[in-house]
Amino acid sequence: GAGVSQSPSNKVTEKGKDVELRCDPISGHTALYWYRQRLGQGLEFLIYFQGNSAPDKSGLPSDRFSAERTGESVSTLTIQRTQQEDSAVYLCASSQGNLGGTQYFGPGTRLTVL
């Protein structure tokens, strides 16, 4: 496909469980970003990957959140011991890596923690 894809599109989980969200960026895009949007709120930056450099984790809200990226391909965002306040849409975006370059967003994963 030509765009950024994310899976699952929806995830419902119980408080305390771990969840894993997946992002497939556009082929050739070296930069990958994770954002989240809680209900009724604006988008927030979580983490940024650029090639093989150390990721920028400055937006992660707690140590329950982590993310990995294999080379310049798939990324997974893991939330451990989920809490109700983690309920949000988690969005992934990729770009060609130029600072400030156009970012292409995936459709998001809607996470609901009961």
Contact footprint for another protein (CB under 8 A): 31, 33, 35, 41-45, 48, 50, 56, 59, 89, 91, 93, 95, 98-105, 107-108, 110
Spatial neighbors of 83 by CB under 8 A, at least 6 apart, are 15, 64, 113
Provide, rounded to whole angstroms, the least separation between the CB of residue 99 and another protein: 5
**Comparison of 42 and 71: residue with beta carbon closer to another protein:** 42
Strands 109-113 and 10-13: parallel
Q: Which of 82/95 has CB closer to another protein?
A: 95
Give min distance, CB of 105 to another protein, in A: 4
Smallest separation (angstroms) from another protein to the CB of 81: 25
The bridge status of strand 88-95 relative to strand 104-105 is antiparallel
Q: Do the Cβ atoms of 4 and 92 come closer than 8 Å?
A: yes
